[in-house]
Amino acid sequence: MGTHTCMGYPGTTLDKIDIDAQTFASWGVDYLKFDGCSSNSVEQIIGYPLMSKALNATGRPMAYSCSWPVYVGGLPPNVNYTFLGDICHLWRNYYDIQDSWDSVLGIVEWFSNNQDDLQPAAGPGRWNDPDMLIIGNFGLSVDQARSQMALWAIMAAPLIMSNDLRNLDNSARTILQNKMAIAINQDPMGIQGRRLLQSHIEVYWRPLSQSASALVFLSRRTDMPYLYHSSLGKLSYDAGNYEAYDVFTGATVTGLNATTEFTFSINPSGVVMWYVYPKKASKQTKMLRKTSKLTWQKTVPRNRIVL
């Protein structure tokens, strides 16, 4: 929005919004991110709703990403997330990600510290966007790449790759194509997860459909693997029998109830990610894992960005 883009190319002034929206539609554009480096607060108040109206008027379905929140601090009362959800499909709340683990941690920390304001704003068709995945670039180790994938899935974040597909190594490809991580991210309930515990091992939780949930155990240590001990009851799970599927190893943990003590090792800056489900739903869950690829291919055109 404004006279120039953030990289200095010609932008969209308020009087050109309609014609630019029509032009994007004629080009077959599927996704528009409307930034605001060259705009002021008055232009943003007018321009973001105006572009929403103009995109709808084209008749072409386009995902509409708004950067409005980040320019006004990202939080209520400066940001009206109820109104924003009516005009945008997703929005950037915070600063740009950089190709580093420190940047990933800074974003996760900001979203977690402000989760009481941000988590209720998200839902189907209206998403908080912590910025791109940097998996497959240069700044993350394999453990850190798994951590970003897991945390973005917990946050119900848009999964937008930023890497060069021509130079993608097998470890990054495996993480980015992890079917269960993607299925958790795309859970139809669309509820954003939360940080439950903050310590040298942080715990994140997200409720999912079919009475399931996802847990991410993130190590903030930088020295050595840590042997973590806990139980589902300590994480506020109700009494009952559960099983857990380890998203990155493919192992199934059986015999869990609220009081069962479990122990596993977490690498420095790494994660353990569990898909937790009631024992009675185990057959249904196994079927979900087997059909996730088929469902994904049937419901999502391959050339579309998925939100």
Residues tagged active-site: 35, 96
Residue 24, token pair as written in the block: 């994007």
CA-CA distance, 94 to 69, in Å (whole number)?
Answer: 8
Distance, in Å, from the CA atom of 247 to the CA atom of 273, rounded to the nearest integer, reads: 6
Residues 200, 159: Cα–Cα separation, whole Å: 27
The first and second tokens of residue 266, run together, are 């977490």
Give CA–CA dist 161/131, Å, rounded.
Answer: 10
What's the half-sphere exposure (Cβ side, CA atoms, 13 Å) at 22?
4
- Under a CB-based contact definition with an 8 Å cutoff, are residues 88 and 66 in contact? yes
Please report the DSSP string for 159-207 in residue order: --B-S-GGG--HHHHHHHT-HHHHHHHT-TT----EEEE-SSEEEEEEE
Nearest to 287 by CA among 196, 217, 210: 210
Assign residue 16 a region: left if phi > 0, alpha if psi is -120 to 50, beta otherwise? alpha
Query: CA neighbours within 13 Å on the CB side: how many for 109?
Result: 10
CB 109 within 8 A of CB 184: no
Token duo for residue 195 = 């940080």
